[in-house]
């Protein structure tokens, strides 16, 4: 796919993505307000902690929407790749922002362990069901988009964490109603914290990998090198290989190639086009920079 065609396709996808994020943000803010009110009425730290989680989720979507707008700005003379990385930075900020929230939830849960308080189980159950239904709705809205955007992936996993915490609160509410064991409220809060930490770690790991220009997860430049040499017998050596990610669905590859002596007279431009097409078809590399090097180039580079 040509660069311009790819950009057009990406911008069209981002427009759909933005609409989904706006719907998700509206739903999330509504449920957050309901959980805050419900948490105070029922005196449930689990509901209040989940409302805090909802706030971070709303913040995450807001950052994602901002990044979605920024990445649509076209490349120029000093932003040669455009601002696609803005959404990766947004995902990193979202993951980082969750860590102090977890600290607050854990602190409040420990306080409730030491000083148990009565909890309105029935109201807690009703509000938790509302939160769960909204989370499931948001997951269905974003389903599919998380596979092509780390930005949306960060929000999508946040939704999964929300749904898991809501299920925990529902179960805890049932048990509290049946047995009166209010200690389950802070226990569920700690469980929610573990889910948040797991989610945050995954997003921070993926976004940091991209920001540090590492090779995409699951891809090895040595494997690609051997594959190219097997596919194109004209190639003698491949060196100075680089593979990195602009965003998860935009991989860039560069390499210097030395041809076999008896094949150096081939049409080099046509040959590089074939390599580019192969890399795009097999590895989804949208842009590759292949430089055919002269006979003595390797020796010079090794000095």
Q: What is the pLDDT of residue 3?
A: 46
Neighbours of 222 (CB within 10 A): 9
Checking if the pLDDT of 107 tops 90, the result is no
Q: What is the pLDDT of residue 64?
A: 72
Strand partners, 25: none
Checking if the pLDDT of 301 tops 50, the result is no
pLDDT tens per residue, range 224-282: 999 999 998 888 889 999 998 887 777 889 999 988 865 555 677 888 888 999 998 88
Instruction: List the structure tokens of 299.
Output: 């020796």
Q: What is the pLDDT of residue 99?
A: 80
pLDDT tens per residue, range 174-222: 887 888 777 777 787 787 778 778 777 877 888 888 888 887 877 888 9
Checking if the pLDDT of 300 tops 50, the result is no
Q: What's the chain's average pLDDT? A: 75
pLDDT tens per residue, range 26-56: 887 887 888 788 778 877 776 776 677 677 6
What residues contact residue 164 under an 8 Å CB cut-off, 6+ apart? Answer: 192, 195
Is 76 within 8 Å of 185 (Cβ atoms)? Answer: no
Mean predicted confidence (pLDDT) in 101-123: 75
Instruction: List the structure tokens of 194.
Output: 């573990």
Is residue 284 left, alpha or beta, with left meaning phi > 0 and alpha meaning psi from -120 to 50? left
- Domains, the chain: 3-211 (1.20.1510.10), 221-301 (3.30.70.1350)
Is 161 within 8 Å of 68 (Cβ atoms)? Answer: no
């Amino acid at each position: 796919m040509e660069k311009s065609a790819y950009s057009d396709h990406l911008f069209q996808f981002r427009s759909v993505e933005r609409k989904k994020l706006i719907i998700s943000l509206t739903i999330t803010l509504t449920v957050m307000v309901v959980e805050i009110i419900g948490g105070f009425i029922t005196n449930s730290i689990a509901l209040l902690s989940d409302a805090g989680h909802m706030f971070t989720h709303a913040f995450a979507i807001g950052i994602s929407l901002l990044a979605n707008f920024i990445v649509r700005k076209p490349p120029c003379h000093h932003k040669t790749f455009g601002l696609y990385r803005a959404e990766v930075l947004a995902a990193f900020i979202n993951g980082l922002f969750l860590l102090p929230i977890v600290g607050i939830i854990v602190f409040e849960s420990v306080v409730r362990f030491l000083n148990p308080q009565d909890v309105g189980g029935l109201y807690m159950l009703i509000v938790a069901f509302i939160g769960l239904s909204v989370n499931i709705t948001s997951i269905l809205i974003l389903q599919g988009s998380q596979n092509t955007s780390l930005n949306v992936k960060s929000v999508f996993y946040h939704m999964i964490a929300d749904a898991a915490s809501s299920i925990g609160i529902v179960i805890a509410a049932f048990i509290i109603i049946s047995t009166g064991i209010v200690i389950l409220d802070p226990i569920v809060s700690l469980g929610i914290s573990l889910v948040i930490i797991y989610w945050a770690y995954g997003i921070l790991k993926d976004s940091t990998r991209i920001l540090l220009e590492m090779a995409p997860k699951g891809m090895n430049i040595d494997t690609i090198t051997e594959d190219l040499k097997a596919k194109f017998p004209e190639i003698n050596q491949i060196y100075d290989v680089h593979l990195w990610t602009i965003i998860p669905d935009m991989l860039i590859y560069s390499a210097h190639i030395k041809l076999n002596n008896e094949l150096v007279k081939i049409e080099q431009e046509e040959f590089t086009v074939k390599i580019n097409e192969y890399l795009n078809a097999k590895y989804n590399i949208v842009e590759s920079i292949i430089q055919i090097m002269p006979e003595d180039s390797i020796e010079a580079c090794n000095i």
